[in-house]
Amino acid sequence: MIKPPKYFSEIADLISKLYPDAKKIVEVGVGRSPYTAIRLKTLLPRAEIIVTDVDREALRYAARLNLNAIYDDVSRPKLEIYEGSDVIYSIRPPPELIHKLEELGIRVGADILVAPLPEDVYLSSMKKNWMRIRGPPTSIYILRQ
């Protein structure tokens, strides 16, 4: 088993504290770093954990690690993947996907959690109902529904 880098583990720890009774959690854009989802499976064993991506090789890798990996493009999401989610999260998403994530959360009634790269300062000016949480590993932004 791969030991998750601290950054990803801390995000999983935060999600598990914010959503201890979650029934369904979806990661958008898992890429080649499924560590948060792996840790969430341990921290929240009763929750359904799903990872999505447009990179089929990344999804095959995640599936080999026993994750429920589904192909989906958040620009044209299959809503049934996300319906019933307590939280949808994305780690270091491209800036152009932030609005798509926000729309998705509103459509399915799920909170959105974004863990940006530290240099993604554009997020510090996010308006509306986004809440900034400072702490390990970095600032996290949450849009509650």
**CA separation for the pair 144, 36 (Å, rounded):** 20
How many domains are contained in the chain? 1
Q: Is position 1 within any domain?
A: no
Which domain, by its residues, includes 52? 6-143
The answer to whether position 48 is within a domain reads: yes
Residue at 105 is within a domain:
yes
Position 18 in a domain: yes
Digit-by-digit pLDDT tens for the chain (145 residues) are 566 678 898 899 999 999 999 999 999 999 999 999 999 999 999 999 999 999 999 999 999 999 999 999 999 999 999 999 999 999 999 888 988 999 999 999 999 999 886 555 455 555 567 777 766 556 777 778 7
What's the angle, vertex CA 68, arms to CA 17 and CA 31, rounded to 5? Answer: 80
Cα-based distances in Å from 62 to 9, 35, 66, 94: 16, 9, 7, 20
Asked whether residue 56 is domain-assigned, the answer is: yes
pLDDT at 17: 94
DSSP 74: T
Structure tokens at 45: 């064993």
**H or E stretch at 115:** strand 111-115
- pLDDT confidence of residue 107: 96
Instruction: Please indicate, yes or no, if residue 66 is contained in any of the structural domains.
Output: yes
- DSSP-derived pairing of the beta strands 24-28 and 87-91: parallel
Q: For position 134, what pLDDT does the model report?
A: 64
Looking up residue 26, the CATH number of its domain turns out to be 3.40.50.150
Say if 139 falls within a structural domain: yes
In sequence order, the 6+-apart residues with CB closer than 8 A to the CB of 33 are 5, 8, 91
